[in-house]
Amino acid sequence: MTVKQILKRPEILAPAGTLEKLKTAINYGADAVYIGGNAYSLRSRAGNFSYEEMAEGVCFAKKHNAKVYVAANMITHEANQAGAGDFFQKIRDIGVAAVIISDPALVEICITEAPGLAVHLSTQASAANYETLEFWRNEGLERVVLAREVSMKEVAEIRQHTSVELEAFIHGAMCISYSGRCTLSNHMSMRDANRGGCSQSCRWKYDLFDLPFGTERNYFTENKTSEKFSMSAVDLSMIEHLPDLIQNGVDSLKIEGRMKSIHYVSTVANVYKKAVDSYMADPKHYSCQQEWIDELWKVAQRELSTGFYYHIPTENEQLFGPRRKIPQYKFIGEVISYDKDTQIATIRQRNVFNLGDRIEFYGPGMRHFTQQVAEMHNEQGESIGRAPHPMMILTMPVKQAVQVGDMIRKQK
């Protein structure tokens, strides 16, 4: 079978913690976004959507040929299922394309009480073999989000034995627990990680202690190490391995991060859109570009690795020991209008910047350029040397044409 016969363009699926992030993700290349509703989601601190916001998001997505999925992936306890049928019916009628669920009770409720709403199995359900995928296909699910512990070899085998759609994570934070099922937060901060309240206890720093044999339990001797200990994994990045995922039949490439900023969402969606388009245009001559990798590092918060795809993670995939210095960029503004005759851009400020700063403009399609802030004016037309106020409106000349929605950042 030839490459051309088996290749299918995968969907780029981006996180959208708010309506603003939803629109940003789609404008920067996402084919679909996943959001949280006002119930049943694992991100209680994200800007979860009201029904009215969902409707606006779905309308915007449809205008741009994109889809909206709703995450309802919490593990339910007794009485948590109350009202789930009504919730699923409402989001179906709004036009949501699918709901992402891990709990079998919620799956059953959705299928029986909201027929017509597609169900995708969440990664929280730990689907790691094709027999499991076949079980869920027979239950009526059309897509399964693979467990993050699945290897690339297993992805290939799964694809050969099932027709269910495959969704796989390609970028973002990795959980230290198996498929995210953790109780550290429950015990340390009384916040249930599996019902949306994770306090990310694994990301905390810990001292190491010895407990000599035979000593009382309350007698500890501090380990004399300068390295603080954490249980924290580095982040995932598959930008250099997209051909493996596409050739092995992954239908949807998922980016983690519903609580991340529009700077993060726009950058990551932009890069993977460019990479996927480049590969699909010419698979035989495709190569990952260094500028794509560099771009992702501009929004990286931790080291990056390939997770479980090619080997079992070692200490090199943990936040322990010497770390690579990550370039720090901050999001400072967005373009809200541009006058091509005067080459003046009107900007909404997001973080402080000053006259003389070196800044970078970027937009969809990997358009970007840098320039120095030579002059800027406030809304009253007064010349200013500093933009200190959040969301203030200002103007500045730009050396290249920009578009509404283009972002601006600067290296710290």
Residue 346 confidence (pLDDT): 98
* Distance from C-alpha of 13 to C-alpha of 29, rounded to nearest angstrom: 9
Q: How many domains does the chain have?
A: 3
199 and 308 in a common domain = no
The residue out of 268, 284, 317 marking a domain boundary is 317
Can you give the CATH number for the domain in which 337 is found? Answer: 2.40.30.10
Residues paired with 304 in a beta bridge:
235
Over the stretch 364-399, which tens digit does the pLDDT of each residue have?
999 999 999 999 999 999 999 999 999 999 999 999
Helix (H, G, I), strand (E, B) or coil at 261: coil
Residue 126: enclosing H or E segment and its boundaries? Answer: none
Tell whether 227 is covered by a domain: no
Selection from 344, 352, 361, 343 nearest residue 412 by Cα: 352
31 and 50 in a common domain = yes
Residue 2 confidence (pLDDT): 36
164 and 191 in a common domain = no
Residue 320 confidence (pLDDT): 72
Rounded average pLDDT over 12-24: 96
- Whether the CB-CB separation of 387 and 395 falls below 8 Å is answered with no
269 and 123 in a common domain = yes
Residue 315 confidence (pLDDT): 81
Rounded average pLDDT over 306-321: 87
Rounded average pLDDT over 25-43: 87
Selection from 365, 290, 370, 289 nearest residue 329 by Cα: 370
367 and 354 in a common domain = yes
Over the stretch 256-278, which tens digit does the pLDDT of each residue have?
998 899 999 999 999 999 999 99
256 and 153 in a common domain = yes
Higher-confidence position of 363 and 215: 363
Tell whether 322 is covered by a domain: no
269 and 210 in a common domain = no
**Angle of helix 51-63 versus helix 84-94 axis, rounded to 10:** 30
Residues paired with 367 in a beta bridge:
363
Least confident piece of the model among 116-125, 157-166, 206-215: 206-215
107 and 29 in a common domain = yes
Can you give the CATH number for the domain in which 288 is found? Answer: 3.20.20.380
Residue 211 confidence (pLDDT): 60
This prediction has a pTM of: 0.90
pLDDT at 4 over 50: no
Would residue 347 be called left, alpha or beta, if left means φ above 0 and alpha means ψ between -120 and 50 degrees? Answer: beta
Domain that holds residue 217: 178-222
* Distance from C-alpha of 137 to C-alpha of 143, rounded to nearest angstrom: 8
Tell whether 323 is covered by a domain: no
138 and 198 in a common domain = no
Over the stretch 126-144, which tens digit does the pLDDT of each residue have?
999 999 999 999 999 999 9
Over the stretch 35-90, which tens digit does the pLDDT of each residue have?
998 777 655 555 689 999 999 999 999 999 999 999 998 888 888 888 999 999 99
Tell whether 290 is covered by a domain: yes
202 and 142 in a common domain = no
Q: Phi and psi of 386, rounded to 5°? A: -155, 140
205 and 154 in a common domain = no
Q: What is the DSSP string of 28-39?
A: TT-SEEEEE-SS
Residue 214 confidence (pLDDT): 60
The residue out of 189, 222, 255 marking a domain boundary is 222
189 and 107 in a common domain = no
> Do strands 386-387 and 11-15 pair parallel, antiparallel, or not at all (unpaired)?
unpaired
The residue out of 161, 187, 222 marking a domain boundary is 222
Residue 169 confidence (pLDDT): 97
pLDDT at 227 over 90: no
Q: Phi and psi of 372, rounded to 5°? A: -95, 145
User: Tokens 């598959």 correspond to what residue?
Assistant: 238
